[in-house]
Amino acid sequence: MKYRNMPGIDKPVSEVGFGVWSVATPWWGVNDDKLGKRLLRMAYEDYGITFFDTGDVYGQGKGETLLSEALEGLRDNVVIATKFGYDIYAKRGDRHGRHSELPQRWDAASIRQSCEESLRRLKTDVIDLYQLHNPRMEAIQSDEVLETLERLKGEGKIRSYGVALGPDIGWKDEGLATLRDERYDMAQIINNMLEQDPARELIREAEKRNKALIVRVPHASGLLDGTYDPDKHFNKHDHRNHRPVKWMKAGLAAVQQLKFLYEGTDRTIGQASILFSLANPSIKSVLPNITTEENLREFAEAPDKTPLTEEEMKKLEELWETSMKEQLKQPFSDSKIKPTPVAPR
């Protein structure tokens, strides 16, 4: 494993992190707490993963509780990020496993309550990275939100804060606003070889302003790690069911152009996909979806493989501009659905 420094955090983060949502909700096919805890513990003990990203909405607090139980005794050795903004405390029945968004609350009292409850579930005195979860522009630019976060930081309850950008609103403008505001330390974005925009512009902005980025969905819902079966689309309980079949099929065709990244090299396609993001210094950690011991091992070993060369990165950019971008846009031309549709990730 290799490590990078994050603003405001006193410990380096592993280049491959662990997104806890893959084991705290059934949305990726894992509904086994025992397995989830084992994968989280193995990530640190066997592979040196020190960055763990969760959120209070994952399983209505389950993600934070699961993480604290799995990493018992290791708090001083790891970096914990969590998220806030969804109103998980109002009684609306059992929503566990559902994909629709909860209402959001951004007032000072709600933020403070969310922070205190997350601290309790995580069994810690301080959250290393506290992120607005899928906020709209109004929340990102809210003085009340920022003043509350500064107070929590001053009280030692959080070390740094940023924004986990939601895909359902396009997120380019929100991302640029986050990165241009000196008070935010970072942004979490979607970036992969089949969804390069608007990530490319956000990466340039982050480098210009010396801001940190965290990347999620590096494997485009299974297209870039070989797990998607075109003959068996995701069932209705799987988060990836939001992906239109036509887009996934277009993605499979696009992937055929990427063999130069892994055939005849020491990388798998899944590892090359992680290295694609890590080629950018502003990206501090990548969050693949980890659901088995096999993909934990494969993804965690990615930073030790041969980095993508400048020539390979240039070829990827050319492929995106000359063929893949149009190829992947086409399935949406007659639809209101946008790439990377809404979900509380």
Residue 344's pLDDT is 46
pTM above 0.85, yes or no: yes
Residue 78's pLDDT is 98
> In sequence order, what are the beta bridge partners of 216?
190, 287
Q: Is 80 helix (H, G, I), strand (E, B) or coil?
A: strand
With both helix axes pointing from N to C terminus, report the angle between 62-70 and 108-122 in degrees, rounded to the nearest 10.
30
For the segment 104-111, the average pLDDT, to the nearest whole number, is 96
| Of 345 and 62, the one with more pLDDT | 62
For the segment 196-211, the average pLDDT, to the nearest whole number, is 96
Determine what percent of the chain is predicted with pLDDT higher than 90: 75
Between CA 41 and CA 50, with CA 46 as vertex, the angle to 5 degrees is: 65
The CATH code of domain 3-332 reads: 3.20.20.100
Q: Residues 6 or more apart from 336 whose CB is under 8 A from it?
A: none
> In sequence order, what are the beta bridge partners of 14?
3
The model's confidence at residue 221, banded by pLDDT at 50, 70 and 90, is confident
Quickly tell me which residue has 């606003």 as its tokens: 177
Please write the tens of the pLDDT for every residue from 89-103: 876 554 444 445 689
Cα separation, 323 vs 328, in Å, equals: 9
CA 223 vs CA 54, 209, 227: distances in Å: 23, 32, 7
Residue 232's pLDDT is 67
143 burial (CB, 10 Å; 0-12 / 13-18 / 19+) is exposed
Contact at 8 Å (CB) between 215 and 190? yes
Please write the tens of the pLDDT for every residue from 304-343: 999 999 999 999 999 999 999 998 887 655 444 444 443 4
Tokens of 305: 């493989």
- Asked if residue 237 has pLDDT above 90, the reply is no
Cα separation, 93 vs 104, in Å, equals: 17
Residues in the chain: 345
Q: 287-322 burial, b for 16+ CB within 10 Å, e for fewer?
A: bbbbbeeebbebbbbbbebeebeeebeebbeebbee
Q: What one-character DSSP code corresponds to residue 212?
A: E
Tokens of 29: 């096919």
Q: Residues 6 or more apart from 208 whose CB is under 8 A from it?
A: none
The model's confidence at residue 241, banded by pLDDT at 50, 70 and 90, is low
The model's confidence at residue 240, banded by pLDDT at 50, 70 and 90, is low
Write the DSSP assignment of 97-155 as a string of letters: T--SPPPB--SHHHHHHHHHHHHHHHT-S-EEEEEEES--HHHHT-HHHHHHHHHHHHT
Cα separation, 64 vs 120, in Å, equals: 9
Cα separation, 345 vs 213, in Å, equals: 16
Q: How far is C-alpha 97 from the geometric centre of its chain's CA atoms?
A: 18
- Asked if residue 72 has pLDDT above 50, the reply is yes
Quickly tell me which residue has 């934990």 as its tokens: 296
CA 54 vs CA 152, 177, 183, 210, 317: distances in Å: 19, 23, 22, 24, 31
For the segment 259-268, the average pLDDT, to the nearest whole number, is 96
> In sequence order, what are the beta bridge partners of 214?
188, 285
- Containing 52, the helix (H) or strand (E) segment is strand 51-53
| Of 148 and 102, the one with more pLDDT | 148
